[in-house]
Amino acid sequence: MNWVSIKDKKPTVSGKYFVAGKYSAYADYWDVDESRFLKDRNGNGVKWWMEIPASPDGVDYKKKGMYQAKKAKRGKTVEFPYSFYQDLTDGVFTLPSDWEATVEHCWQMLDERTRTVFELVYKNGFTQGEVAEKMGVSRQRVHQIKADGMRRMKQYGTFQILTHGLKKVEKNRDDVSRLLDTGKLQEALKKLGIFNTEVNEVAAISFRGKRVLMEQGIKTLGQLSELDFPTIVSFPGCGMTTAKNISDALKQYVLMSSYNM
């Protein structure tokens, strides 16, 4: 993968290329008839170009129309989705096999403005200054939108999906759901490795519920899973509402834990 001086050789076929100006590199179209690139950002004339290479995992980016052409200070070019995953995981990641569906699923949770910023930065290779100019907002606002969006992507559950892949996480979640639906709560706890997790770790259980369980010596989820609903209701100071809270919170915690691969 070599940069070629525009003076030595010009592309002969219209298409999308990595082109470099004075300060940065980006993906752009070459107009054969007019013998020029269709965009010339910031007044920087095109000095070098190279064809977009095949991605390491075999994904045909040229066919899918997904590009990231940001030239780092060390002269390295980072393509989407690697650009996004590097920011997400601080550079330590294994790209899921179903990354397209995975990223699309998680980006759908973003509001329209945040998703637009993500698209422009990670898929199209625009700088935050260029995004700000296109959206008519300040550069600081773009930085804030991007940072808030990335925090959402790093939330528990979403991060697990992005790093392990939608298919794998959904299968794990479905397996756990089937165990819960068939009354195999203890088996689900053991599958997830949370059988000995303390009840206090379940934030959704109310203060009264935790106090009731503590008074009965119920300290772990494994111990709690051995109790049926009527037994919990019969505990002093419990009642139907508190018992339902305990039961629902436990199932919710188990389902959330299914995202933790």
Convert the pLDDT of each residue in 192-251 to its tens digit. Answer: 888 999 999 898 999 999 999 999 999 999 999 999 999 999 999 999 999 999 999 999
Q: How far apart are CA 16 and CA 193, in angstroms?
A: 49
Q: How far apart are CA 172 and CA 177, in angstroms?
A: 9
Q: How far apart are CA 84 and CA 15, in angstroms?
A: 24
Q: Quick one: 217 exposed, middle or buried, by C-beta within 10 A (0-12, 13-18, 19+)?
A: exposed
Helix axes 239-257 and 166-181, enclosed angle (nearest 10)? 150
Q: With a threshold of 0.75, does the pTM exceed it? A: no
User: Considering only CA atoms, which of 4, 3, 127 is closest in space to residue 76?
Assistant: 3
Q: How far apart are CA 20 and CA 52, in angstroms?
A: 13
Taking every pair of Cα atoms in the chain, the longest distance, rounded to a whole number of angstroms, is: 86
| CATH for 80-164 (3.40.50.720, 3.40.50.300, 3.40.50.1400, 1.10.10.10) | 1.10.10.10
pLDDT given for residue 26 in this prediction: 62
Spans of all domains in the chain: 1-75, 80-164, 166-257
| DSSP H or E segment with residue 70 | strand 70-71
What type of residue sits at position 32?
A: V
List, for residues 78-128, the tens digit of each pLDDT value. 678 888 988 888 777 778 888 999 999 999 999 999 999 998 888 888 889
Cα 122 to Cα 38, 81, 83: the distances in Å are 21, 7, 6
List, for residues 136-168, the tens digit of each pLDDT value. 889 999 999 999 999 999 886 788 889 889 998
| DSSP H or E segment with residue 49 | strand 48-51
Band of pLDDT at residue 256, cut at 50, 70 and 90:
confident
Q: How far apart are CA 15 and CA 31, in angstroms?
A: 8
Contacts of residue 163, defined as CB under 8 A and 6 or more positions apart, other chains included, come to 88, 89, 93, 94, 96, 261
Q: How far apart are CA 141 and CA 83, in angstroms?
A: 21
User: Considering only CA atoms, which of 191, 197, 194 is closest in space to residue 172?
Assistant: 191
- Cβ-based neighbour number of residue 182 at 10 Å: 10
**pLDDT over 70 at 42, yes or no:** no
> Hey, what are 23's tokens?
């300060």
25 beta partners: 20
